[in-house]
Amino acid sequence: MRADAKRNFDRIVEVAGATFRSKGYDAPLDDIAKQAGVGPGTLYRHFPTREALIDAVMQNWIASVNESAEKALAHEGDARDRLMAWFEEYAARLTVHKGVAAKITAALGDATSPMANKCQTYSTANAKVIDSLRSEGAVRPNVEALEVLRLIGGIASVADQGNLPPEAVRPMLEVVADGVLR
């Protein structure tokens, strides 16, 4: 990739992120192009569809928070406390960007999605938490790690779309925690 191309690519993603957050995910792409100081042609060459651009923005964001994903693993307390800490951490991350929860959760099971491998960190972090609790015998048999990820994703999606405050989300997470633990 040529240097000027990369410059434009990055600039577009940056501007798009800011614009999507402030004006919504249906903001005119030509505006974003103009804002980024490029022609529409350049934007569409890099991102053939709106979807592609949104993906790029999100991947950018996931990468930026990924590094700290393991924080929740080092929590103090009993099994339930640790599980809840992880749930809240995960749900909070998912609700930072409008729409991200649904998108990531849908991508989880689909290996062909460009999102999926970006979410590896989440998947493995989750598996680690569940496995560690399982080895203590705290987890019900038949509970799969992927299911848990999806359940929390579902809660985050609902919270996202209904603009639910954290105090409405917490009890839902607790129901899932009780369902996961013996």
Return residues touching DNA (CB under 7 A): 1-5, 7-9, 26, 28-30, 37-42, 44-46, 48-50
Burial category of 12 from C-beta neighbours within 10 Å (exposed 0-12, middle 13-18, buried 19 and up): buried
Give CA angle at 74 (143, 179), nearest 5°: 25
Among 30, 81, 110, 136, binds a second copy (CB under 8 A): 110
> CB of 16: closest distance to DNA in angstroms?
11
Is residue 17 a contact point for a second copy (CB under 8 A)? Answer: no
CB-CB contact of 129 with 81 (8 Å): no
- Which residue reads 């994703």 in tokens? 153
Q: Which long-range contacts (CB under 8 A, 24 or more apart) does 71-78 make?
A: 72/125, 72/129, 73/125, 73/128, 73/129, 73/132
Exactly one of 73, 106, 116, 127 binds a second copy (CB under 8 A); that residue is 106
Cβ atoms of 122 and 72 closer than 8 Å: no
For a second copy, the binding residue among 51, 57, 164, 167 (CB under 8 A) is 164
**Residues in CB range of 71: below 8 A, 6 or more apart:** 89
In the complex, what is the shortest distance from the CB of residue 168 to DNA, in angstroms, rounded to a whole number? 32
94 binds a second copy (CB under 8 A): no
Q: Which is nearer to DNA, 50 or 80 (CB)?
A: 50
Interface residues with a second copy (CB under 8 A) are: 102, 105-106, 108-110, 140, 142-144, 147-148, 150-151, 153-155, 157-158, 161-162, 164, 168, 171-172, 174-180
